[in-house]
């Protein structure tokens, strides 16, 4: 089986080598044992936002294919990466060493063993000290509760399955779902957009707790700005779904728009 690891980066020279080395070691170990009968052929795609610190060169030295995406945005990087990915299964990580790269093969196995279509992760259950500011924690709490409240109709339809961490950026999923969902966001709301599309379209998913660590290097998030964007997106998307339901169109069948514009 072929699989793709997609990693967005922006000036992560201090951590990207460690992240990719950790992932490689875990993938090779899993191929010797867990996937011995059908080893996974991994491609690593680093979507680099025109870093100025040599991030791309380090990633290439670790065997990654580096795609420079000069257009800004977390979601833009992912949409570019997903369009380029060729694997049957796609996994994601940040390049700042916050997510446990060594867990990717286990999550792939979980997806396959349970015949799921999407696996996301919950950072909040095993959160390392210093991994999130107080403002970041409060923002996550607000966004998670708003999602559960505003989208309760879809949570009920899924048998009660929902997301404890709507903002997590570590996922494993079958590439085939991209033809069934619509992805439009170039900024931070991309993460919750992806999860909401999975929920609204009734795809088979689970959320797995992970250990989330303090990032290497200076933080790039703005708790207020990014939190506001995510909050407005949750509301706007819910209103759009309500209009579609009232208009009798239901869930839009449009395919995912992941290719660069």
Per-domain residue ranges of the chain:
2-246
Q: So what's the pLDDT on residue 224?
A: 64
Q: So what's the pLDDT on residue 223?
A: 60
Q: So what's the pLDDT on residue 117?
A: 98
**Residues of the chain predicted below pLDDT 70:** 217-224, 247-261
Could you tell me the two tokens for 237?
Answer: 């998307």
Q: What sections of the chain are H helices per DSSP?
A: 16-32, 55-61, 74-84, 104-113, 134-150, 152-157, 190-200, 223-246
Tell me the per-residue pLDDT of 149-202, one tens digit each, with 9 for 90 and over. Answer: 889 889 888 887 788 999 999 999 999 999 999 999 999 999 999 999 999 999
- φ, ψ of residue 29 to 5 degrees: the values are -65, -45
Q: So what's the pLDDT on residue 91?
A: 98
Q: Are 4 and 90 in contact (CB under 8 A)?
A: yes
Q: Which CATH class is domain 2-246?
A: alpha beta
Q: So what's the pLDDT on residue 244?
A: 83
| Separation between Cα atoms, residue 49 and residue 72, nearest integer Å | 7
Q: So what's the pLDDT on residue 250?
A: 55
Q: So what's the pLDDT on residue 254?
A: 42
């Amino acid at each position: 089986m072929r699989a793709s690891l997609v990693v967005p980066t922006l000036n992560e020279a201090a951590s990207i080598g460690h992240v990719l080395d950790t992932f490689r070691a875990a993938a090779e170990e899993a191929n010797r044992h867990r996937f011995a009968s059908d080893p996974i052929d991994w491609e690593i795609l680093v979507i680099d936002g025109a870093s100025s610190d040599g991030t791309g060169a380090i990633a290439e030295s670790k065997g990654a294919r580096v795609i420079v995406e000069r257009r800004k945005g977390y979601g833009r990087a992912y949409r570019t990466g997903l369009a380029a990915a060729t694997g049957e299964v796609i996994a994601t990580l940040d390049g700042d060493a916050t997510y446990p790269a060594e867990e990717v093969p286990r999550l792939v196995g979980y997806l396959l063993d349970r015949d799921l279509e999407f696996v996301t992760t919950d950072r909040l259950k095993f959160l390392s000290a210093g991994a999130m500011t107080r403002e970041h924690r409060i923002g996550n709490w607000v966004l998670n509760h708003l999602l559960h409240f505003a989208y309760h109709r879809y949570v009920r339809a899924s048998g009660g399955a929902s997301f404890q961490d709507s903002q997590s950026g570590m996922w494993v999923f079958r590439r085939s779902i991209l033809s069934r969902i619509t992805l439009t966001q170039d900024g931070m709301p991309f993460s919750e957009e992806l999860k909401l599309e999975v929920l609204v379209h009734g795809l088979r998913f689970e959320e797995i707790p992970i250990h989330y660590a303090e990032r290497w290097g200076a933080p790039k998030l703005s708790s207020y700005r990014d939190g506001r964007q995510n909050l407005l997106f949750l509301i706007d998307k819910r209103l759009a779904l309500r209009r579609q339901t009232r208009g009798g169109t239901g869930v839009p069948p449009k395919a995912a728009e992941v290719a660069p514009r």
